[in-house]
Amino acid sequence: MSQSFDPRALRSAFGAFATGVTVVTAMDENGKPLGFTANSFTSVSLDPPLLLACLARTSRNFEAMTKARGFAINILAETQKEISNTFARPSEDRFAQVEWKVGPFGAPVLAGTAAWFDCSLEQVIEAGDHVILLGRIEAFENSELNGLGYVRGSYFVPMLAGKAVSVASEGPICLSAVIERDGAILMVGEDTKSLPGCDLDGGEPLGALQEALEHLTGLPVSIGFLYSVYEDQKTQRQHIVYRAFVGEGAASGGAFIPLENLAAQSFDSSATADIVNRFSSESSLGNFGVYFGNETSGRIHSIARKA
């Protein structure tokens, strides 16, 4: 008997696995390029050289992809989040917005990627509401660029995540989170508001932060992507701030404050004020960044949310 699960809950659980981001491309029977964004890609074998990608039966590209003589896997570089969004959105001509060429075996390969693989279609394997496209690699190219990452519905850049890890060895660490739900941010404190979090006293940062947030809210918590890394020069403490997400229900600690009401609040520091004001502004644009610096100055690395 087949087990029945809530599809949204299962998708969310799958999303805990950090992946790279690819664009799968092919030529239809009329020689028109087609493609879609996918993170369901993996290598299969070195000898023979095989890889696979998964394709939903509901995809508008289903018939053309499964009948094509081959396809290409384009692993996007960490600077190519907009290309990912382009191929994830409905569009009459996605390829007009990117630079590409025909690969050695005939599938479209995109410029500036971390790597690409031009494949013949070895087999189409039935797999529930998807099919598995098994490809034999006919040609490939590796640029040595870092790939773009994706986890829990948001992009991340491995290079930036690595910086946060290195910070953990430079002194006392304060972990905190921007928790947004339904257009509001969870804050703690009465007259003076601060972000929920904890001090790191050894151990793994994400696990410690998740445990602290769940203890505070009484709700299940998942940690999202990195949002801010800064040093408080007065206290010599390193601060690492993540986005986080909580389950439904009333929080037992803290209170959700609507984004439009944040300007009227008093905060425990100018750094906290900067973080929540930046988050409010970025939320209205749907384009987030990762801040590196100190409590007064630094640089924001733009990391877009998947469209």
In a shared domain, residues 214 and 136? no
In a shared domain, residues 128 and 166? no
Whole-number pLDDT of residue 263: 87
In a shared domain, residues 201 and 254? yes
Above 70 in pLDDT, residue 199? yes
Residue 108's CB is within 10 A of a number of other CB atoms, namely 23
Instruction: State the residue for tokens 């693989």.
Output: 117
The per-residue pLDDT of the chain, averaged, comes to: 86
Residue 306: which pLDDT band, with cuts at 50, 70 and 90? very low
Which parts of 126-219 fold into alpha helices (H)? 158-167, 205-217
Q: What pLDDT, in 10s, does the model give residues 30-75?
A: 999 999 999 889 999 999 999 999 999 999 889 999 999 999 999 9
In a shared domain, residues 260 and 284? yes
Q: What are phi and psi of 42, to 5 degrees?
A: -155, 155
Of 150, 180, 200, which residue is a domain's last? Answer: 150
d(CA 92, CA 199): 50
In a shared domain, residues 173 and 245? yes
Q: Cα 225 to the chain's mean position, in Å?
A: 7
Count structural domains, the chain. Answer: 2
In a shared domain, residues 135 and 202? no
* Cross-strand pairs, 281: none
Whole-number pLDDT of residue 149: 79
In a shared domain, residues 103 and 133? yes
The Cα angle at residue 166 between residues 162 and 171, in degrees rounded to 5: 150
Q: What pLDDT, in 10s, does the model give residues 203-249?
A: 677 788 889 999 999 998 887 777 888 888 888 788 889 888 888 88
Residue type, 298: G
Q: Judging by DSSP bridges, how do beta strands 221-232 and 237-246 pair with one another?
A: antiparallel
Is residue 1 domain-resident? no
Is residue 2 domain-resident? no
Is residue 176 domain-resident? yes
* Cross-strand pairs, 299: 292
In a shared domain, residues 175 and 265? yes
Element (H, E) at 282: helix 270-285
C-beta separation of 221 from 214 below 8 A: yes
Q: What is the pTM of this model?
A: 0.59
In a shared domain, residues 127 and 245? no
Is residue 237 domain-resident? yes
Is residue 42 domain-resident? yes
- Determine the structural domain holding residue 63 and report its residue range: 7-150
C-beta separation of 113 from 48 below 8 A: no
Is residue 161 domain-resident? yes
In a shared domain, residues 232 and 95? no
